[in-house]
Amino acid sequence: MLSGKTVVLGVTGSIAAYKTAGLASRLVKLRADVHVIMTQNALHFIHPTTFESLTGNKCLVDTFDRNFQFHIAHVSLAQRADVLLVAPASANIIAKLARGLADDMLSTTALAMRGPVLVAPAMNVNMYNQPVTQDNIARLREYGKIVIPPESGYLACGDVGTGKLASEDTLLNYLLREIACEKDLSGMRVLVTAGPTREPLDPVRFITNHSTGKMGYAIARRAMLRGAAVTLVSGPVNLAPPPFVRVIRVSRAEEMFEAVREHWETQDLIIKSAAVADYAPVEIRDEKIKKQGGAMTLELCRTRDILAWLGERLKPGQALCGFSMETGRVLEHSREKLEKKRADLIAANCLREEGAGFGTDTNHLTLIRRGCVTDLPMLSKDDAADRLLDEMRAIWEQKNGAEGGLPRPGKSEGGKADDFCG
């Protein structure tokens, strides 16, 4: 994910420095070129050899280190870096960065940075809450630096409160948001629906389906990494919410409809990947339905067709995508859905194809537009999400007269496209 990217980690004097070692290891596994700069005080908490062993690069401490391979190290490294993360960031380094002081390798490199600078505070709760520290943090934000909020809890000094360095996962997510992808969706607003819905029969039972939400969550996460402001309307799933995404949790089909109705008008791209129940019980019992002899009949009513509702109201310039999970005659049914629901794109797949059904980490999508069918290979859901977003961006650019639309590889309507379910 980070191949070709250069990440500089700045480490200051804090017991939380051990977390940065774990982060460095994870960045290397993502193929980033990682360089670590330590302050003199950081040497009291962790040895430079640790970082050198993890990254394969010399750990820098001395501003005038003659053994460093680049001329004028702090300037050269700042020019090469895609991002600088100071973690843990002590009150001292925060004050330096806020006031433009540059008296060691880390502060001079930060001052020379042209790319994004992220600062993750870690300190005693009383130091963190001091007005001067808060003023320095506010000043960093005014200068365009990204401050990663510290966590609350038991601190190494024995106090309890805010001041813990953010977790490795959080630090990594901030870095990925900055440099993992080209920001070709920057400024765009994307609405994604994901997961199943649950239609209750009584306080115990409900009607649902096998959707896990993995595809929709992948779309939301990749759109976020590509710079979009993402709203995710999610049915009940067992997935961690994508970072930096607004998540609206719903359960029933009617709740998903209401959430979509509330937010659709301001969106540029709308991607309906949720497996919404087509039918719901007419009556929801207040008490558990007791087992009785013989058969039981359930009366069901149609739920609102969210995709059709959107297709009828779509504004000029908006792009709408629906999903079509089929068990046979995939292209025929999906083309019918494209026309009937007035969508711009249908992403079709087959439940019976191994690796393309519910709960998998891969998917085989066929992207169907009027006059164009693109049969994607079996891909990871992240890669499939990117290909889908490429297509949606191209549709949006065509509708809005934007130049530089992405090419759409695929088969024309007159060519042969495999209906892989027969």
- Residues annotated catalytic, as ranges: 157
Identify whether the C-beta of residue 194 lies closer than 8 Å to the C-beta of residue 151: no
Please name which of 187, 271, 390, 198 lies closest in space to residue 260, comparing C-alpha atoms: 271
Token look-up 């970082």 returns 51
* Residues 105 and 43 sit within 8 Å (Cβ to Cβ): no
With beta carbons less than 8 A apart as the criterion, state whether 214 and 238 touch. no
Residue 154 contacts residue 160 (beta carbons within 8 Å): yes
Backbone angles phi, psi at 55, to 5 degrees: -100, -20
What is the rounded distance in angstroms from the CA atom of residue 232 to the CA atom of residue 271? 10
Q: Among 240, 242, 246, 239, which Cα is nearest to 263's? A: 246
Q: How far is CA 279 from CA 37, 351, 411, in A?
A: 59, 20, 35
